[in-house]
Amino acid sequence: MTTSKKIGIWMDSESAHFMEFTDEPKQDAEIESTFTHEAKEISLGKNENIMHNKEQHQQADYYKRLGEVIKNYDEVLLFGPTNAKAELVNLLKTDHHFDNIKIEVMSTEKMTENQLHAFVKDHFSKTSH
């Protein structure tokens, strides 16, 4: 019997925090969008159309990088306070590379590091029975 690889990803539109669900503690990883709040403020004074195109391109790149991580897992829990997780899932549904990956989405508030780990551990402990 093979063990499925599971990961929890807390995300918003600016960053994603990865917590792999394993028996041994693992180092967490993080991916940040290149279109941060600061970048948005800088470009607000510029042409709004150019800013929107730049934001869309950078957001697509952010989601693509998240997809590269997600491809390596069998079960994924996406959670966080914004709609970014739903946008990512909708994008992944159009790519057949993700057809056999179980992806769940849950809305949560911001959490501390310990709360993030406890949330992921609790979720996958319940679903693995």
Task: Return the CATH number at 28.
Answer: 3.30.420.60
Which domain, by its residues, includes 83? 6-127
The answer to whether residue 57 sits within a structural domain is yes
Residue 31 within any structural domain of the chain: yes
1 part of a folded domain: no
Q: What phi, psi does 18 have (nearest 5°)? A: -100, 135
What's the token pair of residue 119?
A: 């949330």
| 19 domain-assigned | yes
CA distance linking residue 7 with residue 76, whole number of Å: 5
The whole-number pLDDT of residue 1 equals: 46
Q: Determine, yes or no, domain membership for 43.
A: yes
In a domain, 21, yes or no: yes
> Quick one: which of 38, 19, 45, 40 has its CA closest to 30?
19
Helix (H) or strand (E) holding 106: strand 102-107
Number of domains in the chain: 1
Report residue 7 CA to chain centroid gap.
Answer: 10
Mean pLDDT in order along the chain per 10 residues (129 residues): 84 92 69 64 61 78 94 96 94 94 94 92 81
